[in-house]
Structure 1
């Protein structure tokens, strides 16, 4: 980060030598007052942004570590290529096996209605 040459206090305390036909001291003082306000505002904003930057860098480091740990640990859920159709077929076979004739009788009765 670049070194600052002035602080708001330096600007406030700066004295200029008066000269003949120079600038109006009241205008210069008014302008410098506005410069000081802006400088203080920029300094405050810069500090807030630096703090936020530090906080976000720490968060990135934390998340990077979590991703690294997650990549090295085995997955808690195995990947599956089973489709919904496979599940429905298995469920149907299981129902036939468990309920057997009851399912066949219920289907025949529903066709009669």
Structure 2
């Protein structure tokens, strides 16, 4: 919901005048109810403003994070290269070296 579509504010509700009729509503009861509505409107407006500020803060953080990540080189682990290296170690140094190396990596 856009704030531009909100038609009333707390002041509009407070200053609203109703005509009285013979069998009309209890004016005090209506006033109390309108007071609650005013409080709700004010609370919603404050919450919307808080959320908008948080949204802006998060957007800035996201932009900064994206900028930081794009300036750093990507650190990817190429598991295929690691597997080939492990196989090469087994072939060159024998199974005992590869087993000892694997035991050290797992601990």
Q: TM-score, normalised by structure 1?
A: 0.62
One of 26, 29, 42 as aligned partner of 1:27: 29
Q: Where does the alignment leave 5 or more consecutive residues of structure 1 unmatched? A: 90-113
Runs of 4+ in 1 over 6 A off after TM superposition: none
- C-alpha displacement at 1:49, in angstroms? 0.5
One of 44, 50, 56 as aligned partner of 2:58: 56
Q: Where does the alignment leave 5 or more consecutive residues of structure 2 unmatched? A: 90-96, 98-107
Q: TM-score, normalised by structure 2?
A: 0.65
User: What is aligned with 1:18?
Assistant: 20
**Over alpha carbons, which structure has the higher Rg?**
1
Could you tell me how far apart the structure 2 residues matched to 1:74 and 1:35 are? 54
Aligned-CA RMSD value: 3.0
Is residue 78 of structure 2 the alignment partner of residue 38 of structure 1? Answer: no
How has the CA–CA distance of structure 1 residues 8 and 48 changed in structure 2, closer, same or farther, with 3 Å as cutoff? same
- C-alpha displacement at 1:13, in angstroms? 0.8
- C-alpha displacement at 1:66, in angstroms? 1.1
The size of the alignment, in residue pairs, is: 87
How has the CA–CA distance of structure 1 residues 63 and 20 changed in structure 2, closer, same or farther, with 3 Å as cutoff? same
SS in 2 for 1:29: helix
CA-to-aligned-CA distance 1:49-98 (integer Å, 9 cap, x gap):
1100010011111111111111xx486xxx89577xx7xx7xxxxxxxxx
